[in-house]
A and B are shown apart, each in its own frame.
Chain A
């Protein structure tokens, strides 16, 4: 009897430890919220979202308030439509400006949102109209070279 129950206890203990570790990893790293944090989504349309990836951060005032959910191309205008999910406590005005920035020189791209001054607030599913596309260092350099050649 004791032999049998000690077998079950040790296996049970092992399963508990293993499953706890797995949940720890999933919750801590995999971002599976047990209490799914509610977010709302906003879209933004960029001429180019080059370098931005799904899961990139959205920052307001330098603080992370959400992530990029999805990046699609608009089949008609060839622009990129970026869907972001944001903390519902953050209310953004309809003239807020979304721009794609790089953290550091070679860091990841993220979306920076600068608040606007309007009294109208964006609601879930709305689109941020004012955007700035990602700045490519290569393009800047070639522009600089091209323009300086031109003026000579």
Chain B
């Protein structure tokens, strides 16, 4: 009997703990967002986070954008040249960057570069009891640790996406115009013709949604690290929380990408 029941028991335990985790993250999100009303905002902390998430990511985002733009142009050139429609190269590059690749790849890079670091940082604060210390001093950790990061990600990710797109468009320009001798006018004109304000709005709303998901999951997993399933603390707990955060954030970004695309098409 026991042998028959144990898979059911473990299934139940897993679902209950997943449900608990989701609930904790939901409560965490509401409490964090409620800090909008806690005046004054910690502008200094927001600036520091903006430098970390935004300013220091510009170079890596720009390099990634350049190569993605170039490879998209290269691949589409290979297809379009068979139909003799190389003049559509600009619209292919612009469309795929603005609507899809720009927001998604930027989000994935931000998860890897800033999200993982944020999660580890907050996780270590939790294991070192620094967060409890803040509470002892009547300093709201949500206000001092979490909310500035929410604001910073929310501002930085859409701007980084825009940088990625622009650099990608010029990377594509380099391959199309300088390497394959597509006419420059055709490249930019076809891009301007196909990529409309709607597409731009789709890209921006995607990056806003992604930024919320990233900062929510990465700060939440670190902040609630002490409540994790195996009750693992210390270095192993931090590494586990960070891995979880990166995986969960990446998956939810890709999932949200489909949802937003389906809603806005």
**Chain A residues near B (Cβ < 8 Å):** 7-8, 10-11, 13-15, 17-19, 21-22, 24-26, 28-32, 55, 57
Contact = CB atoms under 8 A, between A and B. Distances in A.
B197 A24 contact: no
11 contacts: A10-B51, A11-B55, A14-B50, A14-B58, A19-B162, A25-B162, A26-B200, A28-B192, A29-B98, A29-B200, A30-B196
What bracket does the count of chain B residues touching chain A fall in? Answer: 20 to 34
Contacts of A11: 47, 50-51, 54-55
Chain A binding surface SS class: helix
Nearest to A104: B85
A22 B197 contact: no
A14 B51 contact: yes
Given A14-B50, A29-B98, A21 B196 contact: no
Nearest to A107: B85
Nearest to A24: B166
Contact of B192 (A10, A14, A19, A31): A31
A25 B98 contact: yes
A31 B48 CA distance: 35
B220 interface: no
A17 B50 CA distance: 13
A22 B159 CA distance: 7
Contact of B163 (A21, A29, A32): A21
Contacts of A10: 51, 55-56
A22 B98 CA distance: 11
B197 A21 contact: no
B158 A22 contact: yes
B113 to A, nearest CB: 14
A35 B157 CA distance: 28
A56 to B, nearest CB: 10
Nearest to B49: A11
B200 A25 contact: yes
B84 to A, nearest CB: 10
Contacts of B50: 11, 14-15
Pairs A-B, 7 closest by C-beta atoms: A18-B159, A14-B55, A21-B162, A30-B197, A22-B162, A29-B195, A21-B166
A35 B204 CA distance: 23
A7 B163 contact: no
B244 interface: no
Contacts of A26: 197, 200
A29 B51 CA distance: 28
A76 B197 CA distance: 33
